[in-house]
Amino acid sequence: LAVDPRLWTREDVTSWLRWISEAYSLENVKLDRFEMNGKALCLMTLDMFLYRVPEGGRVLYHDFQRRLR
């Protein structure tokens, strides 16, 4: 993965989702709900993450925000 998530491709986003799902034992992450690149992911709010992954969206959101710094 590129260090800057804004440069991620769709494939990079998928790789990150697979990694974080494994790392945090998240079972309900549907990859088809995140068919976007890193720039699009940057536009997502916490509520948007929670809508896509109700029981893990907060973890995804905060991990992604940390990577933007």
CATH number of 5-68: 1.10.150.50
What is the token pair recorded at 41? Answer: 């992911």
- The answer to whether the beta carbons of residues 53 and 29 sit under 8 Å apart is yes
How far from 9 is each of 12, 41, 45, CA to CA, in Å? 5, 10, 19
The model's pLDDT over 33-57, given as tens digits with 9 standing for 90+, comes to 999 999 999 999 999 999 999 999 9
pTM > 0.85: yes or no: yes
Q: Does the pLDDT value for residue 1 go beyond 90? A: no
What does the pLDDT read at residue 60? 98
Of residues 24 and 2, more confidently modeled: 24
Chain center to CA of 62? 9
